[in-house]
Amino acid sequence: MSRRKRYTRNLGRPLRSPLPVRTTVEWIRFEHEREPCGVFSYLSDARAALGPEASRELETLAAWFSDHLNAPDLLTVERFWFRAEATAHVAQAQKLAALLRAAGIPIIERRTRRIPGRVRWEDRHQVAVLTYRDTPQPRR
Q: Is residue 41 part of a domain?
A: yes
Handedness of CA 120, 123, 34, 111 (dihedral sign): positive
Query: Cβ–Cβ contacts within 10 Å for residue 73, how many?
Result: 5
Q: Is residue 88 part of a domain?
A: yes
Q: Is residue 9 part of a domain?
A: no
Domain of 75 in residue numbering reads as 25-131
Q: Is residue 11 part of a domain?
A: no
Q: Is residue 136 part of a domain?
A: no
Per-residue pLDDT of the chain (140 residues; tens, 9 = 90+): 555 555 556 666 777 776 666 666 799 999 999 988 899 999 999 999 999 999 999 999 999 999 998 887 776 788 999 999 999 999 999 999 999 999 999 999 999 988 888 888 888 899 999 887 665 566 65
Q: Is residue 10 part of a domain?
A: no
Q: Is residue 74 part of a domain?
A: yes
* Beta carbons within 8 Å of 93's beta carbon, 6+ residues apart: 28, 30, 39, 82
Q: Does pTM top 0.85 for this prediction?
A: no
Q: Is residue 118 part of a domain?
A: yes
Domains held by the chain: number: 1
